Chains A and B, each alone.
Chain A
Amino acid sequence: MSYCLMCQNRINEYFDLEWVLSLQQLKKKFLCKNCQNNLVELINYPRCPGCGRKMNKEDTCIDCRKWGSEYSDLLGNIALYEYNELMKKYFEKFKFMGDYYYSNIFNGELKEIVQKKYGKGWLFVPVPLSKQSFQIRMFNQVEALFSGLTFTELLAVRNDEKIKQSKLNRRERLRRRQPFVLNSNKRVEIEAANILLLDDIYTTGGTLYHAARIMKDAGAKKIKSITLAR
Chain B
Amino acid sequence: MFTKKAALEVQKDIIICNRCGQKTPKERAFLPNQQYYCPACIMLGRLTTQHILYTIEEPNLFLDISDPLTWKGELSKNQLRCSNKIVQIQRDNKDFLLWAVTGAGKTEILFASLADAFKKRKRVCIASPRVDVCNELHPRLKAAFECVTMVLLHGYQAEKYEYTQLVICTTHQLLRFKGAFDMLIIDEVDAFPFKNDVMLMNAVNSARKSVSSLIMLTATPTHSLMKQVRRKKLEVGYLPSRYHGHELPVPKIIIRANWMKELQSGKICNKLKKIINSWTDNKEPFLIFVSQIDFLRDVIVVIKKFINGRCEGETVFSADKERIEKVQKMRDGTFQYLVTTTILERGVTFAGLNILVLGADDELFNSASLVQIAGRVGRSAQEPDGDAIFLCSRKKKTVVNAKKQIILLNLKGRKIKNELLFDVPE
Interface residue ranges, A against B (CB under 8 Å): 93, 97-101, 138-139, 143-144, 147
Distance between B39 CB and nearest chain A CB, rounded to angstroms: 6
The dominant DSSP class at the A interface is mixed
12 contacts between A and B (CB under 8 A): A97-B42, A97-B43, A98-B37, A99-B37, A99-B39, A99-B42, A100-B31, A100-B32, A100-B37, A101-B28, A101-B29, A143-B32
Asked if residues B46 and A97 are in contact (CB atoms below 8 Å), the reply is yes
Q: How many angstroms between the C-alpha atoms of A219 and B417 in the bound complex?
A: 89
Q: How many angstroms between the C-alpha atoms of A100 and B29 in the bound complex?
A: 8
- The number of chain B residues touching the other chain, given as a range, is 10 to 19
**B48 at interface (Cβ–Cβ under 8 A)?**
yes
Asked if residues B39 and A138 are in contact (CB atoms below 8 Å), the reply is no
Residues on B with beta carbons closer than 8 Å to the beta carbon of A100:
30-32, 37
Residues on B with beta carbons closer than 8 Å to the beta carbon of A101:
28-29, 39
- Select from chain A the residue with minimum beta-carbon distance to B193: A8
Known pairs A138-B32, A138-B48; list 5 more (Cβ under 8 Å).
A97-B42, A100-B37, A138-B33, A139-B32, A139-B33
**B35 at interface (Cβ–Cβ under 8 A)?**
yes
Q: How many angstroms between the C-alpha atoms of A93 and B28 in the bound complex?
A: 14
Listed residue (B28, B35, B39) with the most chain A CB atoms within 10 angstroms of its CB:
B39
Distance between A78 CB and nearest chain B CB, rounded to angstroms: 25
Asked if residues B32 and A98 are in contact (CB atoms below 8 Å), the reply is no
Interface membership of chain B positions 29-56, coded 1 if the CB is closer than 8 angstroms to chain A and 0 otherwise = 1111101010100110010100000000
- Select from chain A the residue with minimum beta-carbon distance to B39: A99
- Select from chain A the residue with minimum beta-carbon distance to B45: A97
Interface membership of chain B positions 224-262, coded 1 if the CB is closer than 8 angstroms to chain A and 0 otherwise = 000000000000000000000000000000000000000
The 6 closest A-B CB pairs, nearest first, are A98-B46, A138-B31, A139-B32, A97-B42, A100-B31, A101-B28
Residues on B with beta carbons closer than 8 Å to the beta carbon of A147:
32
State which of A98, A139, A143, A144 has its C-beta within 8 Å of the C-beta of B42.
A98
Residues on B with beta carbons closer than 8 Å to the beta carbon of A93:
42
Residues on A with beta carbons closer than 8 Å to the beta carbon of B39:
99, 101
Q: How many angstroms between the C-alpha atoms of A60 and B46 in the bound complex?
A: 41
- Select from chain B the residue with minimum beta-carbon distance to A100: B31
- Select from chain B the residue with minimum beta-carbon distance to A134: B33
- Select from chain B the residue with minimum beta-carbon distance to A147: B32
Q: How many angstroms between the C-alpha atoms of A223 and B32 in the bound complex?
A: 28
Listed residue (B28, B33, B43, B46) with the most chain A CB atoms within 10 angstroms of its CB:
B46
Distance between A163 CB and nearest chain B CB, rounded to angstroms: 22
Residues on A with beta carbons closer than 8 Å to the beta carbon of B29:
101
Distance between A102 CB and nearest chain B CB, rounded to angstroms: 9
- Select from chain A the residue with minimum beta-carbon distance to B24: A101
- Select from chain B the residue with minimum beta-carbon distance to A85: B319
